[in-house]
Every structure is written in C-alpha cells, then in structure tokens.
Amino acid sequence: MTANVLTVSQVNMYLKQVIDGDRNLKNIFVSGEISNFKSNYSSGHFYFSLKDSNSTIRAVMFSSSAQRVRFRPEDGMKVIVTGRVSVYEVSGQYQLYVDSMQPDGMGALAVAYEQLKNKLAAQGLFDESHKRPLPVLPKRIGVITSPTGAVIQDIKNVVSRRCPLTEIVLYPAAVQGDGAPEQLTRGVRYFSTERNVDVIIIGRGGGSFEDLNCFNDENLVWAIYDSKVPIVSAVGHETDFTLCDFAADLRAPTPSAAAELAVPDKAELEKSVENAFSRISALVSERLYTSYQDIDRLRDSVAALHPEKYIESERLSVELLSTRISSAAESRLDLERARTEALANQINALSPIRLLQKGYSVTTKNGKCVTSASALKAGDRVSVRFADGTAECTVNNMETMEAEKT
C-alpha cells in the first residue's frame, strides 16, 4: 500500500484549517509581558511576543488595529490582548493575531499620559527656567474656554471686583471631545500671534480624567510652551493635573483662582502706593536731617580754629557744601514727589468715579448692574447714576446690536 505523501504547504494548510476551526482559539483574551517589540513605520504593523514565566507566543497586530491603541507599547509592559490564534503558512508557525490591547492594571489613557509627560519633560517643556512672571497690572486678559460654561462668568466676576478696568477677551473653544485639542491650540496661537492681550487664561471646570484629556494634547502643550504671552492654566479642580498645567507659566487650582492671580486687588494696590509714599517721605526727611547735622558739625569745627584766613576758607567750603546738599535734597524730593504723583494718578485712573465724571453713567435694574441692552425691555424701570446724582428712568423702546469678539 502506497503511503500518502504530503507537501509542506499541505501540512501547514491543514494545521491552519484545524486551528482556525477551533472555537476555543477565537476571540480569546491573553495576558502577558511584551518582549521583542517592533513597529514597522512603513506599514504601521506591530510585531512582538507575549511571555509569562514559562512560555512565549509570537504575536502580530496589523495597522488597522494598531492605530486604535492609545499608548505606546514597550518591552516589559504587561498587557491584556484580544484576538485569535492562527498559523502563518509560509513559516509554519502559529501566532496570535491581536485585535485590541490594554495595559494590565492601568488604563490606556493613564499610560499614554505618563509616557507623553516623560517625553515632554525630557525635551525641556516643563523647565522652571522657561516660565515667565505675570504682568503686574494687565490691561487685557485673553480667556480660552467654553463660551457657555460657568468658567468665563467666574473669571469676569472676579476681575470686575478686583480690577474693574481690565478687559476680558474670550476665545470660544470646546473643552472636551475630539475637536477640543485643535480649538484650544488655535486659541493659544491666536493670542500669541496677535499680542492683543497681556496674559492668557486657559481652562475649564472639573471633570473626569477622560473629560480633561484634551488638555493633555501634545500640540497644545507645544503651543503653550511657544506662546509669546504668559499663560495661566486653570483646568479642573485643585487635585486635577494636566500637561497644560506643567507647561504653563503658572498653574491655578481653579479658574476663579486664575483670575485672582492675573489681576491685583484695587484696595491692596492703593494701600501699597500709600505705604510707598510714606517710606519715600521718611527717607527724604532722614537724609535732610543728616545733612543739616553734618553742616552744624563743620561749622563748630571751623569756629574752633582761630586763624581768620582758614576760617574764611572753611566758611566758603561749608556754604558750598550746604548749597550742594540742599540742592541734592530738593532734587531727590522732587523726584520722589513726581513718582508718588504718578502712582497716585495711576490709582485715580482706575477709579470708576473718574469715568462718571467724564460723562459715562452706570445703569442698574433691581439693584443689579445692566451690562447689555438685551437685558432690558420697554417698560422696565432703571436707575441711571451720574457723577453728581442718580436718575430714575423708564425704558420706552430698545434696539440691540450683537457682535462676537474673538
């Protein structure tokens, strides 16, 4: 009886059919440690092995599946994969064809966050030497956040209370979802290019790690690092940290705290000017007193010397010195007085009363300030405050005009 001779290809094909037909080897979950990991840059496929303490199995993950992995696989990383076992007929080796991969014990987003954080830190994006101080008295603040959330209102309320003449410029952007990183990045680059604000606040309210993940985008972090305008990051609550926080010039625990850090308190600024004026006055008085004491000592010393020529010479010297000291003291006093007046004028310029004296007025309805014509309707009773008094008025008709400022 003649033996049935099979080719190598037939054997491999048969084994492939047997393994492919086994339901136990389809849609299986396998845990193991990655080794010999290689990524083909031209095709996008992943080639690696999974091993435990006793065995190893070869694995391949094609680009269609590999592009959905949210982290960078590395040798030594423990993972859980799903896929199927089959035979590669050309070599006759069986291997695991992977459809999905997750870190074993840590979420994919968390792993991707740590990997990107370490990468950017090594490139110097979080170095303290790169961070800049915020301006002492900003005239305009750019805010990058959702136009409908509570963040922009919180920032406006804090700024209007602490420094009412500082203007807020909103760049509306999504703060979560697939399109959010691109919109946030455009906002940073807009303010950095236009230089139309003195400081930037970027942020949103609290949320889950997934909600805040758009603030971990690599392009956004680079835009913050490259910004020509100082940036305050205020993402989430006090315990939330994103990569934007590490790259920004200053990190605030909340958006309201960011507004407090960005502008000075008017009352504190006035007190600081008063203290500076007091210190300057005391310094000038002390210098004058010391100079007059020096003059008195010189006069006493000259009087003790009887020769008339020496006395006359020293008298002239003393008079010349006295004149110089008085002139220097007066010059210093004038300089300090000018500086003090400049500070006082700056404080006075911040006063809302000064605006009223220029012809502006403040309109309130039911005790609340009216900031938009859309808040009024015909028949409303309003109070209009001028510099010298208040008028009670009734609204007859309204015309509103809308404009979006970005």
Q: What is the pLDDT of residue 112?
A: 84
The beta strands (E) that lie in 236-374 are given as 250-251, 362-365, 368-369
**By mean pLDDT, which of 106-120, 159-173, 293-307 is the weakest?**
293-307
Q: What is the DSSP letter of 128?
A: G
User: How does pLDDT run across 175-225, given as a tens digit for each residue?
Assistant: 998 899 999 999 999 999 999 999 999 999 888 888 899 999 999 999 999
Mean of per-residue pLDDT scores for the chain: 86
Burial class (CB in 10 A: 0-12, 13-18, 19+), 95: middle
Q: Given CA atoms 221, 223, 225, 231 in this order, what sign does their dihedral have?
A: negative
Instruction: Evaluate whether 295 touches 322 at the Cβ level (below 8 Å).
Output: yes
β-pairing verdict for 389-394 and 368-369: unpaired
Superfamily the domain 123-262 falls into: Response regulator (3.40.50.2300)
Is residue 234 within 8 A of residue 203, CB to CB? The reply is: yes
What are 13-27's pLDDT values in tens digits? 999 899 888 899 988
339: confidence class by pLDDT, cuts 50, 70, 90: confident
State the CB neighbour count (10 A cutoff) for residue 70. 15
Residues 6 or more apart whose CB falls under 8 angstroms from that of 98 comprise: 46, 59, 60, 61, 65, 81, 82, 83
Q: Is 325 exposed, middle or buried (0-12, 13-18, 19+ CB in 10 A)?
A: middle
Spatial CA neighbour of 45 closest among 107, 103, 98, 115? 98
Backbone angles phi, psi at 305, to 5 degrees: -100, 115
- What is the rounded average pLDDT of the residues 294-307? 69
Cα separations in angstroms, 180 against 92, 186, 391? 48, 10, 47
The whole-number pLDDT of residue 406 equals 32
Right CATH for 8-105 from 3.40.605.10, 3.40.1280.10, 2.40.50.140, 3.40.50.1780: 2.40.50.140
Q: Which residues contact 328 (CB under 8 A, 6 or more apart)?
A: none
Q: Which two tokens stand for residue 382?
A: 């309003």
* Mean pLDDT of all residues in 22-50: 91
Q: CB neighbours (10 Å) of residue 139?
A: 12
| Residue in 390, 350, 391, 154 with CA at minimum distance from that of residue 264 | 350
